[in-house]
Amino acid sequence: MKIGIVCYPTYGGSGVMATELGMALAKKGHEIHFITSHQPVKLDFLSANLLFHEVFVEEYPLFHYQPYELALSSKLVEVVEKYQLDILHVHYAIPHAYAAYMAKQMLLQKGIEIPIVTTLHGTDITLVGSHPFYKTAVEFSINNSDIVTAVSENLRTDTLRLFDIYNKIDVIYNFIDFNYQKNWDDDDCIRLTLAKPEEKIITHVSNFRPVKRVNDVISVFNKVQENIKAKLIMVGDGPDREKAEQYARKLGIKDKILFLGKSDEVRKILCFSDLFILPSETESFGLAALEAMAARNAIITTNTGGLPEVNLQGRTGFLSDVGNIDEMAKNTIHILEDESRLNKFKDAAFKYALKFSIKNILPKYEAIYKLVKKK
Ligand code: GMT
């Protein structure tokens, strides 16, 4: 099939998912066209099966905001027509589902019918999408997509609660492509650049936005390091990074924390890590936690949103109420203080992550593509 994929080409989970999905589909022989503002960060090669079409937005002094949706929908019309695409699959409703709907209408006038698959990822529904500024347009785009998928049961429930939806929503979980999951464990030099052999490694990866509650990571670690020899690796960047660094300095534990910024080496870092912390205010799925599990990390998360669908209480790790620092610290110490217990959690986390292997998820997307093509 010839599939156009629209996503945010940045480090966010939705962009990573969309890119890895496109690459896996291309490997299976589908012709994949990425239509995005920049080449997606994870898209490391282009081939006859994998093409990239850049959406340009011209700057013009009259515009306070650049009309990206307009440029995107025009580009979608051009690419669908030129390459005779079968389907457009848009990731993250804002503004992609809306732009795809406009493209579909423009193409209909030319006698071309293109089905739209929209995948909802989280904040396009919860934090941003349901805001009164966007709600009407998001609701309209969801109801007018040919197929809608959500990345967790919880996100489906939230969508139905927050919007007036008469379209069906299928749940297709996020996935891990284990083909990219190497084992760097043997390379001790890398571990030694992060921590001493006797120290446990705790990791957090995010975009450092307020919803991630990065200061809770520091607070939990502060209590843990009083009991266990450990290092904290903070990967990513965003508005709350400076605040988190200041907080660590204030607590006098800055020397035990490495702030690495954005990294292309997340999988490698996670490979040396023992435990991952994700204390988010809300999380539709928590792809970062799943990636940590795939690298054999025990996980400590909040019990919000779709996280209980990824983290199993007492098996892959523990879940606590948002902001319950004492409990998260107590559970982290409980896991880390006993080597055989830690290994049990790590093994269970890895085993559960296999359920989300791309091998199981890819056929579900292929099935909906087939269905929507026939409609
Ligand atoms: O707005 C964000 O937090 C970014 C967004 C993204 O594009 O990565 O994250 C959402 O989508 C991810 C991929 O499906 C999920 O794993 C994240 O849980 C979700 N973020 C939130 O719900 C806060």
Q: Which of 209, 284, 356 to mutate to test the pocket of ligand 1 (most atoms within 8 A of CB)?
A: 284
What pLDDT band is residue 220 in, cutting at 50, 70 and 90? very high
**What residues does 35 pair with on adjacent strands?**
53
Residues 200 and 348 in one domain: yes
CA separation for the pair 278, 333 (Å, rounded): 16
- Rg of the chain over Cα atoms, rounded to whole angstroms, equals 21
Does the residue 28 lie in any domain?
A: yes
Q: Is residue 26 part of a domain?
A: yes
The answer to whether the CB of 148 is under 6 A from ligand 1 is no
Looking at the structure, tell me whether residues 230 and 250 fall in a common domain: yes
Output the pTM of the full model.
Answer: 0.94
Tell whether 205 and 171 lie within a shared domain: no
Same domain, residue pair 369 and 343: no
Question: Is 217 part of a structural domain of the chain?
Answer: yes
For residues 154 and 201, state if they share a domain. no
Question: Has residue 127 been placed in a domain?
Answer: yes
Task: Tell me, in angstroms, the distance from the centre of ligand 1 to residue 26's CA.
Answer: 24
pLDDT tens profile 104-160: 999 999 999 999 999 999 988 887 877 889 999 999 999 999 999 999 999 999 999
Gap between the Cα atoms of 44 and 85, Å rounded? 23
- Cα 96 from Cα 364, distance rounded (Å): 22
* Tokens, residue 94: 């804002």
Distance CA 144, CA 117 (A): 10
Examine the pLDDT at 237 and tell me if it is beyond 90. Answer: yes
Same domain, 306 and 361: no
Contact 287, 270 (CB under 8 A): no
Query: Is the pLDDT higher at 192 or at 220?
Result: 220
**At how many degrees (to 10) do helices 214-224 and 325-336 cross?**
50
Q: Is residue 236 part of a domain?
A: yes
- In this structure, what CATH number is given to the domain that contains residue 141? 3.40.50.2000
Is residue 183 domain-resident? no
Residues 38 and 144 in one domain: yes
Whether ligand 1 lies within 6 angstroms of the CB of 311 is answered as no
pLDDT at 130: 78
Q: Is the CB of 211 under 6 A from ligand 1?
A: yes
- Same domain, yes or no: 53 and 134: yes
- CA dist., res. 208 & res. 92, Å (int): 19
- What is the C-alpha separation between 221 and 228, in angstroms, rounded? 10
Residue 140 lies in a domain: yes
- Assess whether 216 and 303 both reside in one domain: yes
Does one domain contain both 10 and 25? yes
> 143-172 burial by CB neighbour count: b if 16+ within 10 A, else e?
ebbbbbbbbbebbbebbeeebeeeeebebb
**What total number of domains does the chain contain?**
2
Structure tokens at 32: 């994949």
Q: How far apart are CA 105 and CA 114, in angstroms?
A: 9
- Answer yes or no: are the C-beta atoms of 130 and 289 closer than 8 Å: no
Tell me what pLDDT residue 12 has: 82
Strand 50-54 relative to strand 87-91, pairing: unpaired
Question: 14 CB under 6 A from ligand 1?
Answer: yes
Q: Does a structural domain hold residue 224?
A: yes
Q: Are residues 222 and 292 in the same domain?
A: yes
Name every residue whose Cβ is closer than 8 Å to that of residue 131 and which is 6 or more positions away in sequence.
none
The pLDDT mean for the chain works out to: 94
Which residue range is the domain that position 276 belongs to? 191-356
In terms of domains, do 154 and 196 share one? no
- Phi, psi of 186, deg, nearest 5: -70, -25
